[in-house]
Amino acid sequence: MTKQSIIWSTLFAVALFILFAGSTSAAVSEEEAGQLGTTLTEFGAEKGGNADGSIPAYTGGLPTCRAGADRYEDPFKGEKPLFTIDAKNVSKYDSILTTGTRALIKRFPETYKIDVYPAHRTVCYPSWVIQNTLKNAGTAKIGGEIEGDAITGVDEKGLPFNGIPFPIPKNGYEVMWNSKLHIAPPVDHNWSSAAIVDTAGRISTLPEVNHYYLHPWYEKSGDMRRKASDAVLGISSRLTSPPSSAGTKFLLLYMPDAAEGGQRVWLYTPGKRHIGKAPEFSYDIPITAYSGSLLWDEMFGFVGRMDRFDFKLIGKKEIIIPYNVFGLTNHTTLEEVLGPRHVKPNYVRWEKHRVWVVDSVRKSSAHHLYSRRTFYMDEDSWCILSTESYDNSGKMWRVAYIYTFPTYDVFGVNNASWSFNDLIKGNYSLVNAGRKMPGKFVRSYAESKSLDIPLSPQAVEGSGVR
């Protein structure tokens, strides 16, 4: 069968499900489902470009390129910026900037600027993920006793198929679940550095961590998903510095439902040679390894359970946002990219893309350090690209950017580098950069079978050394 005939046969099956499922069906009409693969891509993005041509049409993503052994070279390194936005002309671009970007330009008018490059829609989806996403369009639903607590579907376990669960989202919770299941390599092996820069511009290097970032639903064999108990995201990490912490290990599995708080977390301490559950590593608990510069639930923009906020879908906007950011992957040292107030602008590439905007307000009965959070999700990858977080007085507290680049030797994107600017304290942090330093790297894998990744507490404890 041709690709087009497969798409239409899948859409026909989805339409039949919608027609006969009655009150238990997802709120996607037959007409809406018919947009997938026509006016929309099969994963829910607008296929065409925008009116002025500043956002191109989607044509399948970046062609396969040859990745280096330890990092990804920039296929656009010869391009020059189209224009630069700074304090002098920011008002001209107010409508296509995030609130956080405008706040940073206002806070640092002498140094903060953004270089805007031609937009490239580089994300690539395997055909089997596309077919699963089409099946999810009429069958995946939000479940759980509290809204947003779980996802359900019609695979053999009552879960969505391995793909984007809600390519035509109807509310903020569906968009947030799409971000949790954004397209990514099954394994991203990342050994890099992190730092926090204080208000005086002094750099403090944070503990180094050897990370395996795992996306079990995107391993075609299903082996890792079975071993990880259907986790939608996994993190298997080992601290390698400082010496007092070296050998400490974490295993985090984020689940498709709210059982056990929506996650399973274990901590291995080499001094005790013992592993134990660590359910407290969640929500608004500061991450000690990062000097409290980010919370456990704001890795990758957001992880964990959504029960403490009401998530409202604002809609889709054309926004200038960090995109195809290879500069933080290929620089020489971590210090090279760290300015005294923020990441140096010439290492960050900005492009105009369509993003989904979700605003969340803390529930009156809930506790969290943030009273409000705003998320910006890429329409192609479904990755969170930026967040804004507010304190109890409604004042903007932190602005975060999640720097993505296409993992073009496998598929999907890497979204493991993050910066957090604290607008109240005045400091900032950069996590998972410095990958061109000796011994540091980023590698992607389409399957996990050749890698020794512990996916159970017993495996973590058994691999512990000091």
Q: What is the pLDDT of residue 22?
A: 34
Selection from 228, 210, 218, 165 nearest residue 187 by Cα: 218
Report the distance separating Cα 360 and Cα 171, nearest Å.
Answer: 12
Strand partners, 319: 353
Between CA 186 and CA 72 the distance in angstroms is 17
* The 3-state secondary structure of the chain, one letter per residue: CCHHHHHHHHHHHHHHHHHHHHHHCCCCCHHHHCCECCCECCCCCECCCCCCCCCCCCCCCCCCCCCCCCCCCCCCCCCCCCEEECCCCHHHHHHHCCHHHHHHHHHCCCCCCEEECCCCCCCCCCHHHHHHHHHHCCCCEEECCCCCCEEECCCCCCCCCCCCCCCCCCCHHHHHHHHHCCCCCCEEEEEEEEEEECCCCCEEECCCEEEEEECHHHCCCCHHHHHCCCCCEEEEEEECCCCCCCCCEEEEEECCCCHHHHEEEEEEECCCCEEEECCCCCCCCECHHHCCCCEHHHHHHCCCCCCCEEEEEEEEEEEEEECCCCHHHHCCCHHHHECCCCECHHHCCEEEEEEEEEEEEECCCCCCCCCEEEEEEECCCCCEEEEEEECCCCCEEEEEEEEEEECCCCCCEEEEEEEEEECCCCCEEEEEECCCCCCCEEEEECCCCCCCCCCCHHHHHHCCCC
Please state, as a whole number, how many other Cβ atoms lie within 10 Å of the Cβ of residue 204.
12
Cα–Cα distances in angstroms (integers) from residue 46 to residues 86, 168, 173, 185, 426, in the given order: 30, 11, 20, 23, 38
10 Å Cβ neighbour count for 313? 17
What's the rounded Cα separation, in Å, for the pair 440 and 365? 44
How many other C-beta atoms are found inside a 10 Å radius of the C-beta of residue 25? 15
* Paired tokens of 65: 């390129």
pTM, rounded to two decimals: 0.92
- Indicate the pairing of strand 309-322 with strand 274-277: unpaired
pLDDT of residue 27: 66
Residue type, 161: F
**Looking at residue 20, what is its pLDDT?**
36
Q: Give the pLDDT of the chain (466 residues) as one tens digit per residue.
A: 444 544 444 544 444 444 333 333 346 888 899 999 999 999 999 999 999 999 999 999 998 777 777 889 999 999 999 999 999 999 999 999 999 999 999 999 999 999 999 999 999 999 999 999 999 998 999 999 999 999 999 999 999 999 999 999 999 999 999 999 999 999 999 998 899 999 999 999 998 899 999 999 999 999 999 999 999 999 999 998 888 889 999 999 999 999 889 999 999 988 777 899 999 999 999 998 888 899 999 999 999 999 999 999 999 999 999 999 999 887 778 889 999 999 999 999 999 999 999 999 999 999 999 999 999 999 999 999 999 999 999 999 999 999 999 999 999 999 999 999 999 999 999 999 877 777 889 999 999 998 989 898 988 887 755 4
Residue 185's CB is within 10 A of a number of other CB atoms, namely 23
Cis peptide bond upstream of 242, omega within 30: yes
CB 416 within 8 A of CB 432: yes
Helix H, strand E, coil C: the string for 287-301 is CHHHCCCCEHHHHHH
Q: What is the pLDDT of residue 17?
A: 42
Bridge partners (DSSP) listed for residue 403? 417
Identify the pLDDT of residue 198. Answer: 96
